[in-house]
A = this chain, B = another copy of it.
Amino acid sequence: MTTIPAGRHQYILSLIEENGTVNVGGLAEELSVSELTIRRDLDQLAKKGLVERTHGGATARRNLPIEPDYLQKASEFPLEKAAIGAAVAKMVEEGDTLYINSGSTTLEVIRCVAALGKKLTIVTNNIDAPWLCKEFEHIRLILAGGVYRPRSHSVSGSLSSLLVSEVYANKAIIGVDGFSPTAGLTTPILEEAETTRAMIEHTVGKVIVVAASNKIGVVSNFKTISLDRVDVLVTDKKGGQLMDQIETPEGLTIVIADMQE
């Protein structure tokens, strides 16, 4: 038996693949190392997104294997994001061409929208979108080009706008880092803001902004557009309460995504 960490990791993964779960004590005995070492192994595998850590062991993970820090962000408000994704999916109609920008919330939107089974064209700068859509014949996916940004799993910048300037969509689904009545939509990355703005400018129909409650009232670094171009805000229950306290602009529809549903 190999005595190197990587060998243990492989073995643990194969065991999880087979049984669905593993427990710390059993592995420690079987591999003749301390339980502490096993815990560290499992933590490392969990950080890579290969297993799901549980009390006393680990279980198989079904979702995408994606980057740890991104994974963490993606699982920040999983229920809220899933609810928002489902709510947006209801607004999409057969034949739509959708602009969808990058972000963990909009990735969830892509997942829900693609699962509808409707014929759609999705134009996005999210690098994970191909992975989600690879099996769906009914989705025509157009990826924006541009400079790759690992941290945000996206491409952006002026080269992205080049493609966007040639495509017109009838709906835009936009995730933001800040949603504020005064500052409008804001993001922490200049290039992302530019690409998102280009998307909105080339949308002839409704602009739908998705934002969980932790984005409401927040102002990030770079402005995308002001709120008057936004038609619909899809948020969670808590976000709806926050919006009640704010003076909502004219013509903005607020949709509360129900998590119980």
Give A contacts to B, CB under 8 Å: 2-7, 10, 19-23, 25-26, 52, 54-59, 64-65, 67, 127, 129-131, 133-135, 140-148, 150, 153, 155, 159-160, 162-163, 166-167
Contact B150 A56 (CB under 8 A): no
Q: Which residues of B contact A5 (CB under 8 A)?
A: 54-56
Known: A3-B56, A6-B57, A55-B5. A134 touches B21 (CB 8 A): no
Contact across chains for B55 and A6 when beta carbons are under 8 A apart = yes
* Residues of B contacting A54 in the complex (Cβ-Cβ under 8 angstroms): 4-6
Check if A130 sits within 8 Å of B159, measured CB to CB: no
Instruction: Kindly list chain B residues whose C-beta atoms are within 8 Å of the C-beta of A2.
Output: 19, 21-23, 26, 57
CB-CB under 8 A from A147, the residues of chain B are 140-142
8 contacts between A and B (CB under 8 A): A4-B56, A6-B54, A7-B21, A64-B65, A140-B147, A159-B163, A162-B162, A162-B166
Which chain B residues border A143 with CB–CB below 8 Å?
A: 127, 143, 145-146, 148, 155
Total copies of this chain within the assembly: 2
In the complex the two chains form, what is the Cα distance from A23 to B166 in whole Å? 54
How far, in whole Å, are A148 and B137 apart by their CA atoms in the complex? 11
CB-nearest residue of chain B to A60? B10
In the complex, what residue of chain B is closest to A148 when comparing beta carbons? B141
Does the CB pair A150–B134 fall under 8 Å?
yes
Of B23, B59, B127, the contact of A10 (CB 8 Å cutoff): B59
Q: A20 vs B6: C-alpha distance in the bound complex, in angstroms?
A: 10
Residues of B within 8 A of A153 (CB): 130
Q: Is the CB of A4 within 8 A of B57?
A: yes
Measured between beta carbons, the chain B residues less than 8 angstroms from A23 are 2-4, 7
Residue from A10, A21, A55, A58 having most chain B Cβ neighbours under 10 A: A21
Residues from chain B with Cβ under 8 Å of A130 in the complex: 127, 148, 150, 153
Shortest Cβ gap from A111 to chain B (Å) = 16
A21 touches which of B10, B127, B145 (Cβ 8 Å): B10
Task: Contact check, A144 vs B145: say whether CB atoms are below 8 A apart.
Answer: yes
A4, A52, A59, A147: which has the most chain B beta carbons within 10 Å? A4
